[in-house]
Structure 1
Amino acid sequence: MALTIGIIGLPQSGKTTLFNALTKAGAPVSGYATSTVQANLAVVQVPDARIPPLAEIFKPRKTTYATVEFVDVAGMGQSAQSSQEKKEGLSAEFLGHIRNADALAIVLRTFANENVPHIYDSIDPMRDLESLNAELALTDLSTVERRIERTKKAAKSGDKKYQQELELLKRLQEALNELKLARQLEFSQQDLAILGELFLLTMKPRMYVLNVSEDVLGAANELLDKINAGENVSADTLQGELKGLAQVALHARTEGSEFVAVSARLEAELVELPEDDAREYLEALGLPRLGADRVIQVGYRLLNLITFLTAGEDEVRAWTVTKGAKAPEAAGKIHSDIERGFIRAEVTRFEDFIACGSFQEATKRGLQRLEGKDYVVQDGDIAHFRFNVGK
């Protein structure tokens, strides 16, 4: 399962700088608004501290990390001065780049820099979010209205399923007309099946990436930790960047979204440094890891994903599955035949394996388990699947 995260935001929010920090892709960064909707795409490894020690033990021919694809698309907010374009929402070209993303990373700028003018001439991340949400809602409204016209024709047959679909579409139309997000509505399982065909942008899980100045990065992360922990934080008692950051984070909690603070410019500079130098600089700022790594971590949490491992002389590899997946489903990530012919899984926790140093010792200590079809795979499991595919 390759996770795809679409990076969106207003011009000069730091989207492409963040993309470069995440991917080391070196995509060109503009200091002014442009009209392009060309996408930057890159696939990067998901950082996993469990891979190197396993590789050290097995000396495999191949080492494979899980991957995440980032898609950075320019173009949002370009129609801010055009009421006609604004009414139509995002272009078909933009939609084509972003509609298949598993989640959206919405970059919101909190830093001020007179050399990087803001499209609205002032810094207000909540206002920017409302602008982006409006554009996403109008884009989805266009999608829903086209589907309504098609469904109306099909409903003339008298088939009740089309009548039910029309009811859902009209409910969506009403909400989106009011610039509400589709994800704010309640849906039945039947509704969700229809929604899956629409690829609505306002239904996608989202994280807010708050692009802060380097000066407040440490304080910003401390503040977000407090909000994440449910502590009583009032944005009204804060000033400057931290106030806007808190407003977005508190809003995110009400809608069940994730949030993370990064300094995209600093991140882009750090990825150019030797690893030891970058780590030392991060430690001086009181930060445990690169913001790029934290964005990936938040993406996994947002989409309820975990990682299991396979290890041997041929390959040490990380695999991504949805939390709650059972052993046969996890086996199917490796190959469909393994899922179809699943017999059992030999499972060892990563920590137990490292403590033992080998599967033989783990078995001797009773730390390797045999699990059947109902076993729910856990993050950090090292699994070996037994299977038999008949003729």
Structure 2
Amino acid sequence: MGLNCGIVGLPNVGKSTIFSALTAAPAEVANYPFCTIDPNVGIVSVPDKRLDKIVQLIPTERVVPATFEFVDIAGLVAGASKGEGLGNRFLASIREVGVIAHVVRCFEDTDIVHVNNKIDPASDIETINIELALADLDTVSTRYAKQAKLNRLSKEAQKENEKVLPVLEKVKTCLEVGKPARSLNLNEDELAVVYDLHLITLKPVIYVCNVDEDGITEENGFVKVVRKIAEEENSDVIVICGKIESEISALETEADKRDFLEAIGLEESSLNGLVRLAYHTLGMRTFFTAGSDENRAWTFRSGFKAPQAAGVIHSDFEKGFIKAEVFNCEDLFFYKTEQKVKEAGKLRIEGKEYVVKDGDIMHFRFNV
């Protein structure tokens, strides 16, 4: 599974506008379907106020935030699972991402054509969910047919199929009614059975409600519809005004951006929330290294042990791992200096079995 987020949705819902604002780099945007053909890829910094605080307490020459990749994927239409529109290219692109940001149009604007000539978030979501389910159904049905034939070969194959076929049947039944495979809440053993199928509908989804300027401060009926659907799927929802975000991204200085946000009653760009949510939804967490030369945020997967985290910096760090000096950034924020953190007994020496925590500040000892 990719360590990135794919931005998907029907044509003309604002995907490319949001992508451009996220990356502050132009993506193809136009008032007609299929403007975006090949996926645009952008690397964005992960907003993290903790890194800002660390810099204040441990002055440094260089600051490097964590980064995350977003992919702007071509608009999907009904029939994509059978190759309609740019369906085949769309499906190939979306299989490669780790989490899906499903942009849903939640605003009225007669100047921007809707592919179905009406604003109906529930219908838009259903269109995409059905197409993705149908694509996965083809994959699962093919595997099921091949797996069932193995029963003829040996008793061992029959025994294996007693475990495999019920799981495939369970997923197949779900997809046949247009429901995403993630709605089944499969356990670890069941997920292992379908792991190599790379099912699109098993990927976590964040619904991104693209609203107009009024919708950013007062929730409209379209957003409420999306929230209800997301709640049933156990998915997250975030509300963004693509138009406002594009205006913010065009401003040259951080001071100008802060003034703009303050004028419209926002503490920060809504896109910051999307970046953080996508990052955490994918199980990404952050540890820090800090010193006079550089303060840096490093990305690791939740559950990593100390040597694996060391390997994020360099493979030699993991191979030659000895120990890690660790304290959490919250201890630094409380005690204000590294020396006082040490005096309070909050600095620890951890070994190979230490499970790294989000917000840890680490220094690795290694020998290669």
TM-score, normalised with respect to structure 2: 0.89
Give the equivalent residue in structure 2 for 1:310: 289
Give the equivalent residue in structure 1 for 2:222: 244
Partner residue of 2:103 out of 100, 107, 113: 107
Tell me if structure 2 keeps the 8 A contact 1:350–1:381.
yes
Q: Distance in 2 between matches of 1:196 and 1:67?
A: 27
Partner amino acid, structure 2, of 1:138:
L
Give the equivalent residue in structure 1 for 2:166: 167
Residue 47 (structure 1) shift: 1.6
Give the equivalent residue in structure 1 for 2:88: 92
Q: Distance in 2 between matches of 1:216 and 1:172?
A: 37
Q: Distance in 1 between matches of 2:332 and 2:2?
A: 26
Tell me if structure 2 keeps the 8 A contact 1:111–1:212.
yes
Give the equivalent residue in structure 1 for 2:65: 65
SS of the residue 1:50 aligns to: helix
Residue 248 (structure 1) shift: 1.3
Q: Distance in 2 between matches of 1:26 and 1:53?
A: 31
SS of the residue 2:217 aligns to: helix
Aligned residue-pair number: 362
Residue 289 (structure 1) shift: 1.1
SS of the residue 2:230 aligns to: helix
Question: Which structure 2 residues correspond to residues 16-165 of structure 1 after superposition, within 5 A?
Answer: 16-34=16-34, 37-55=37-55, 57-60=58-61, 62-77=62-77, 80=78, 87=82, 91-158=87-154, 159=157, 160-162=159-161, 164-165=163-164
Q: Distance in 2 between matches of 1:187 and 1:217?
A: 36
SS of the residue 1:294 aligns to: helix
Residues 36 and 356 of structure 1, relative CA distance in 2, 3 Å threshold: closer
Q: In the TM superposition, what whole-angstrom CA distance separates every residue of 1:357-381 from its partner, at most 9, and x where no partner exists?
A: 6534432343322233443322221
Partner amino acid, structure 2, of 1:212:
V
Please tell me whether residue 277 in structure 1 is matched to residue 278 in structure 2. Answer: no
Residue 2 (structure 1) shift: 8.0
Residue 139 (structure 1) shift: 1.1
Deviates further, 310-319 or 262-271: 310-319
Partner residue of 1:338 out of 313, 317, 320: 317
SS of the residue 1:63 aligns to: strand
Please tell me whether residue 327 in structure 1 is matched to residue 306 in structure 2. Answer: yes
Give the equivalent residue in structure 2 for 1:264: 242
SS of the residue 1:316 aligns to: strand
Tell me if structure 2 keeps the 8 A contact 1:43–1:67.
yes
Q: In the TM superposition, what whole-angstrom CA distance separates every residue of 1:167-186 from its partner, at most 9, and x where no partner exists?
A: 32233222212111111124
Give the equivalent residue in structure 1 for 2:189: 190
Q: Distance in 2 between matches of 1:345 and 1:86?
A: 49
Residues 155 and 316 of structure 1, relative CA distance in 2, 3 Å threshold: farther
SS of the residue 1:17 aligns to: helix
Tell me if structure 1 keeps the 8 A contact 2:289–2:362.
yes
Q: Distance in 1 between matches of 2:352 and 2:14?
A: 46
Give the equivalent residue in structure 2 for 1:13: 13
Q: Distance in 1 between matches of 2:266 and 2:341?
A: 35
Q: Distance in 2 between matches of 1:31 and 1:183?
A: 33
Q: Distance in 1 between matches of 2:351 and 2:93?
A: 41
Residue 142 (structure 1) shift: 1.8
Residue 69 (structure 1) shift: 0.7
Partner amino acid, structure 2, of 1:253:
E
Residue 155 (structure 1) shift: 4.4
Tell me if structure 1 keeps the 8 A contact 2:14–2:105.
yes
Deviates further, 256-265 or 273-282: 273-282
Give the equivalent residue in structure 2 for 1:219: 218
Q: Distance in 2 between matches of 1:122 and 1:115?
A: 13
Identical aligned residues as a percent: 41
Residue 354 (structure 1) shift: 4.9
Deviates further, 21-30 or 279-288: 279-288
Q: Distance in 1 between matches of 2:179 and 2:138?
A: 14
Please tell me whether residue 178 in structure 1 is matched to residue 156 in structure 2. Answer: no
Tell me if structure 2 keeps the 8 A contact 1:7–1:107.
yes
Q: In the TM superposition, what whole-angstrom CA distance separates every residue of 1:108-141 from its partner, at most 9, and x where no partner exists?
A: 0110100002112211111111111111111111
Q: In the TM superposition, what whole-angstrom CA distance separates every residue of 1:22-66 from its partner, at most 9, and x where no partner exists?
A: 111201101011376321111111122333454563424x43221
Please tell me whether residue 301 in structure 1 is matched to residue 280 in structure 2. Answer: yes
Q: Distance in 2 between matches of 1:156 and 1:282?
A: 66
Residues 36 and 215 of structure 1, relative CA distance in 2, 3 Å threshold: closer
Structure 2 regions of 5+ residues with no counterpart? none
Q: In the TM superposition, what whole-angstrom CA distance separates every residue of 1:235-272 from its partner, at most 9, and x where no partner exists?
A: xxxxxxx1221121132123221110000111011101
Q: Distance in 2 between matches of 1:11 and 1:41?
A: 18
Residue 7 (structure 1) shift: 0.5
SS of the residue 2:300 aligns to: strand
Partner amino acid, structure 2, of 1:203:
L
Structure 1 regions of 5+ residues with no counterpart? 221-241
Tell me if structure 2 keeps the 8 A contact 1:88–1:139.
no
Tell me if structure 1 keeps the 8 A contact 2:133–2:180.
yes
Residues 59 and 347 of structure 1, relative CA distance in 2, 3 Å threshold: same
Q: Distance in 2 between matches of 1:52 and 1:174?
A: 49
Q: Distance in 2 between matches of 1:86 and 1:55?
A: 49
Q: Distance in 2 between matches of 1:86 and 1:377?
A: 41
Please tell me whether residue 210 in structure 1 is matched to residue 206 in structure 2. Answer: no
